[in-house]
């Protein structure tokens, strides 16, 4: 199997494999990349249950080590427990974790790999569309602190990413759309044809048309790969990936991360950002309407029932930890965004209001 692309971060580089049955080739990928080094499967109970058949390809990595489903994986207590499992199995510095799961599993297993014995290698096998198009690429790991999400973490690039779109077959409509919204975001940032494809093929997404989803993953990965290869750490270029995230994070925090997917929050955040871009005459009103419509079409439900004041409070918190400035990514056109650092409180207010209006 040939990699779809190779991501370069400073001195590290890793291949990304994308395909309908990509995990079937995991053994030969491991042979090429890790040689005879021992591999260990890390996953969650839900993935182990739903994808049992597909996981037979990684049987060579032994009985899975389990992290809890969902955000529960992302605590220091879970990391300590996983590390205990690695110690019990005698995993050494030459061990390689194969992390099979969604974004939370990837964040937590990546963090564990980065601190176990001061760092062992990890291969990411993202199983959700969101993780395939976004979180598995770029080398960021994270766990939560009782006082806030993703406040602890590391930069720990994997040695390979295997995005098997076959996993997407069992995703819920909600999860599919969450990933499609992040892919739509990638389209607005840097790939007009990706945007067109998602807009046009909305129904194929619901039908889990895997050939189409494979192309969506490829193109979204290409956008992110181009950005993170140029700039591995959080700065400049990489901030473009935060389109929709200023208000999106605010919505998630205001709703206590419950009752809304990350992609949906980002989608409504894009609607908010578009309103500011139009008000600044950076973006044509018709183009904004087209992006907004694509978001609504993918979300297919009511806008998030959050409170504007709560969203603004959360964005002030992000501002505080981010760098003291109110930053938004604003589109100038589909395929072209800019980072704007002098966002006013009034503009944030407008963005939050428009996002909630849907």
Footprint on this chain of a copy of itself (rule: CB under 8 A) = 10-11, 76-77, 79-80, 83-84, 87-88, 90, 92-94, 111, 114-119, 140-142, 145-148, 151-155, 234, 320-324
Query: For residues 50 and 76, which CB has a smaller minimum distance to a copy of itself in the complex?
Result: 76
Q: How far is the CB of 34 from a copy of itself (least distance, A)?
A: 15
238 tagged catalytic: yes
| 41 φ, ψ (degrees, to nearest 5) | -85, 130
Query: For residues 78 and 178, which CB has a smaller minimum distance to a copy of itself in the complex?
Result: 78
Look up tokens 């140029």; give the residue.
Answer: 230
Query: For residues 156 and 354, which CB has a smaller minimum distance to a copy of itself in the complex?
Result: 156
262 tagged catalytic: yes
Do 2 and 218 contact (CB within 8 A), yes or no?
A: no
Query: For residues 3 and 322, which CB has a smaller minimum distance to a copy of itself in the complex?
Result: 322
Tokens of 71: 């955000």
Q: Is 225 helix (H, G, I), strand (E, B) or coil?
A: helix
Q: Which of these is catalytic: 156, 175, 182, 354? A: 182
140 tagged catalytic: yes
Q: How far is the CB of 48 from a copy of itself (least distance, A)?
A: 24
Q: How far is the CB of 89 from a copy of itself (least distance, A)?
A: 11
144 tagged catalytic: no
149 tagged catalytic: no
Residue 94 DSSP symbol: T
Q: Which of these is catalytic: 156, 219, 238, 326? A: 238
Contacts of 81 (CB under 8 A, 6+ apart): none
Query: How far, in Å, CA of 58 to CA of 66, rounded?
Result: 14
Q: Which of these is catalytic: 2, 11, 53, 118? A: 118
Angle of CA points 46, 49, 53, to nearest 5° = 135
Query: How far, in Å, CA of 70 to CA of 51, rounded?
Result: 16
Q: Which of these is catalytic: 156, 219, 239, 245? A: 245
Q: How far is the CB of 14 from a copy of itself (least distance, A)?
A: 18
Q: How far is the CB of 75 from a copy of itself (least distance, A)?
A: 9
Query: How far, in Å, CA of 235 to CA of 133, rounded?
Result: 20
Query: How far, in Å, CA of 32 to CA of 39, rounded?
Result: 13
Query: For residues 55 and 104, which CB has a smaller minimum distance to a copy of itself in the complex?
Result: 104
Tokens of 200: 């046009």
Query: For residues 153 and 335, which CB has a smaller minimum distance to a copy of itself in the complex?
Result: 153
Do 22 and 163 contact (CB within 8 A), yes or no?
A: yes
252 tagged catalytic: no
Q: Which of these is catalytic: 74, 224, 299, 354? A: 224
Look up tokens 């602190």; give the residue.
Answer: 145
Q: Which of these is catalytic: 27, 234, 290, 349? A: 234
199 tagged catalytic: no
234 tagged catalytic: yes
Q: Which of these is catalytic: 54, 242, 274, 326? A: 242
Q: How far is the CB of 41 from a copy of itself (least distance, A)?
A: 20
Query: For residues 35 and 90, which CB has a smaller minimum distance to a copy of itself in the complex?
Result: 90
CA 335 to each of CA 170, 190, 223, 289: distance values in angstroms, whole numbers, following the listed order: 31, 4, 10, 15
Query: How far, in Å, CA of 208 to CA of 158, rounded?
Result: 28
Look up tokens 């096998």; give the residue.
Answer: 125
Q: How far is the CB of 88 from a copy of itself (least distance, A)?
A: 8
Give the residue numbers marked as catalytic.
118, 140, 182, 224, 234, 238, 242, 245, 249, 262
């Amino acid at each position: 199997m040939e990699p779809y692309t190779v991501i370069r971060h400073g001195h590290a580089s890793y291949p990304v494999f994308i395909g309908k049955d990509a995990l079937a080739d995991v053994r030969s990928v491991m042979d090429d990349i890790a040689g005879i080094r021992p591999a260990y499967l890390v996953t969650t109970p839900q993935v182990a249950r739903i994808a049992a058949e597909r996981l037979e390809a990684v049987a060579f990595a032994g009985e899975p080590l389990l992290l809890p489903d969902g955000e529960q994986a992302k605590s220091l207590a879970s990391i300590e427990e996983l590390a205990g499992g690695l110690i019990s199995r005698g995993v050494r510095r030459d061990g390689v974790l194969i992390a099979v799961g969604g974004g939370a599993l990837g964040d937590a297993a990546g963090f564990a790999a980065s601190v176990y014995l001061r760092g062992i290698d990890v291969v990411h096998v993202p199983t959700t569309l969101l993780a395939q198009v976004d979180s598995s690429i770029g080398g960021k790991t994270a766990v939560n602190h009782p006082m806030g999400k993703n406040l602890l973490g590391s930069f720990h690039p994997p040695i390979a990413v295997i995005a098997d779109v076959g996993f997407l077959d069992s995703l819920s409509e909600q999860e599919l759309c969450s990933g499609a919204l992040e892919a739509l975001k990638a389209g607005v940032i840097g790939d007009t044809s990706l945007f067109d494809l998602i807009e046009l093929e909305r129904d194929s997404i619901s039908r889990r048309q895997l050939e189409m989803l494979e192309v969506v993953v490829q193109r979204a990965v290409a956008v992110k790969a181009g950005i993170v290869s140029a700039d591995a750490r959080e700065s400049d270029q990489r901030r473009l990936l935060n389109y929709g995230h200023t208000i999106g994070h605010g919505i998630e925090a205001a709703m206590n991360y419950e009752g809304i997917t990350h992609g949906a929050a980002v989608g409504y955040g894009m609607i908010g950002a578009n309103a500011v871009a139009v008000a600044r005459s950076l973006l044509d009103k018709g183009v904004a309407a087209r992006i907004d419509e694509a978001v609504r079409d993918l979300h297919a439900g009511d806008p998030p029932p959050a409170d504007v004041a709560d969203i603004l409070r959360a964005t002030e918190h992000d501002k505080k930890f981010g760098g003291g400035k109110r930053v938004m990514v604003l589109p100038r056109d589909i395929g072209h965004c800019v980072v704007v650092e002098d966002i006013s409180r009034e503009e944030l207010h407008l963005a939050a209001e428009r996002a909630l209006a849907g």
